[in-house]
Amino acid sequence: MIESRLPIVRTVADLRSVTATWRREGKRFALVPTMGALHEGHLSLVRLARARAGRVVASLFVNPRQFAAHEDLDIYPRDEAGDAALLASAGCDILFAPAPGEIYPPGFSTSVSVGAVSEPLEGAVRPHFFGGVATVVTKLLLQALPDIAVFGEKDYQQILVIKRLARDLDIPVEIIGGETVREADGLAMSSRNAYLAPAERAIAGRLNAILREGALALERRRPIETAEAELKQHIVAAGFSKIDYVSVRDAEDLTPLPHATVDRPARLLAAAWVGATRLIDNLPVMATPRAVNDV
Ligand code: PAF
């Protein structure tokens, strides 16, 4: 059994008393929100937070509001003691692990809805998702009032949604994205990778390689429509059972690009299923300047 010496607080009042002390001491501090089941991807966010602030608080809360009724809330992996030990080893100072009633007490009836950037892609396929994320992240930011908050770029759209809500609601925090950490074959680390059977795991590892080839083709001026269609064919041929989306979007606001080829910083985003497990991934696509006769 792994042992953790990480202090754990369970109430907003206790969290605030710790962060108020840090503030009085003039220390900058960072928040790393998580749903637990931690892996190297989360730990890299804690290390990034540590490099940018004097103190780090991580939160562990499996947020029921971002799961639809048919999703995996009940079986989502939970191991608080193991997570606390990993967080301590990565340089976290304290863990905020509230019970559901601390975050959503009886009578709770407010939700945060972020407009345009939350609507396509994940928002279209999982309509409940960003409302749940935006509500809990707004609460966590206001509970901790950190100087910075760090989120993984694997959930690229989530970072844009959180940046938007912090800006729109005047929450004084800098939102920072940490690079996606990958397995040797390119599979983005995710707590849900634990659901993959060995044969599914082999298929899952193909997604990133396929997207990389697609991003290169797009940077070499492959028309977006053609590239998206080819990517879908390759993903199906690799053994994925269903594709939710494969799409090239403006990197800042996720709107579709107006021209046939990529002419501005863009992002290639995909969500696909291997058996009953849903994977997401994304990559930057560099802009290629447009020629005068481009449409
Ligand atoms: O990315 C996650 O783990 C969750 O969506 C977050 C940001 C912790 C909110 O529950």
Summarised one tens digit per residue, pLDDT across range 217-240 is: 999 999 999 999 999 999 999 999
Give distance in angstroms: CA of 44 to centre of ligand 1.
15
Q: What is the pLDDT of residue 1?
A: 46
Report CA(31)–ligand 1 centroid distance (Å). Answer: 12
Q: How many domains does the chain have?
A: 2
Q: Could you tell me the distance, in angstroms and rounded to a whole number, from the CA of residue 284 to the centre of ligand 1?
A: 21
* Of the listed ranges 86-100, 163-177, 187-201, 276-290, the one predicted with least confidence: 276-290
pLDDT, one tens digit per residue, over 143-162 is 999 999 999 999 999 999 99
Amino acid 25: pLDDT: 97
Q: Cβ(269)–Cβ(249) under 8 Å?
A: yes
Please determine, for residue 294, whether its predicted confidence score (pLDDT) is greater than 90.
no
- b (16+ CB within 10 A) / e for 220-247: ebbebeebbebbbebbeebebeeebbbb
Query: Do residues 208 and 169 share a domain?
Result: no
Ligand 1 mutation target, pool 114, 133, 191, most atoms within 8 A of CB: 133
For atom 2 of ligand 1, the residue with the nearest CA is 34
Query: Taking 70 as the threshold, does the pLDDT of residue 295 lie above it?
Result: no
Whether the Cβ atoms of residue 67 and residue 172 lie closer than 8 Å to each other: no
Structure tokens at 266: 């863009």
Instruction: Pick the last residue of a domain from 115, 148, 178.
Output: 178
Residue 98 within any structural domain of the chain: yes
Mean pLDDT to the nearest integer, 186-201 = 97
> Residues of the chain with pLDDT > 70: what percent?
96
Per the prediction, the chain carries an average pLDDT of: 96
Residue 118 pLDDT greater than 90, yes or no: yes
Known catalytic residue: 70? no
234 shares its domain with 124? no
pLDDT digits over 44-78, tens only?
A: 999 999 999 999 999 999 999 999 999 999 999 99
Protein residues whose CB sits closer than 6 Å to any atom of ligand 1? 33-35, 63, 66, 133, 136-137, 151, 155, 158
Catalytic residue (one of 39, 42, 70, 234): 42
Length of the chain: 295
Give dist(CA 67, CA 132) in Å, integer: 8
Per-residue confidence band for 5, with pLDDT thresholds at 50, 70 and 90: confident
Q: What tokens does 28 get? A: 């900058």
pLDDT at res. 293: 61
Q: Which atom of ligand 1 is nearest to the CA of 140?
A: 9
Nearest atom (ligand 1) to Cα of 66: 10
Read off the pLDDT of each residue in 154-178 and give the average, rounded to a whole number.
98
Output phi, psi for 128, to 5 deg: -80, -20
Give the residue numbers spanning the domain of 115. Answer: 8-178
Atom of ligand 1 nearest to the CA of 63: 10
| Domain final position from 155, 178, 201 | 178
Beta bridge partners of 95: 8, 58
> pLDDT tens digits for 232-267?
999 999 999 999 999 999 999 999 999 999 999 999
The predicted model scores a pTM of 0.96
Which neighbouring-strand residues pair with 280? 271
The alpha carbon of 127 and the centre of ligand 1 are apart by a number of angstroms equal to 16
Q: What is the DSSP string of 224-271?
A: HHHHHHHHHHHHHHTT-SEEEEEEEEETTT-PBPSSSS--S-EEEEEE
Question: Is the same domain home to 108 and 133?
Answer: yes
Q: Would 293 be classed as within a structural domain? A: no
Check the CA dihedral 192-197-242-188 and report its sign: positive
Residue of minimum CA distance from atom 8 in ligand 1: 34
Same domain, 17 and 158: yes
211 and 174 both lie in a single domain: no
pLDDT at 291: 65
> What's the pLDDT at 166?
98
Q: Are residues 130 and 19 part of one domain?
A: yes
In angstroms, the CA 250 to CA 269 distance is 11
How would you classify residue 221: left for phi > 0, otherwise alpha for psi between -120 and 50, otherwise beta?
A: left
- Separation of CA 50 and ligand 1 centre (Å): 19
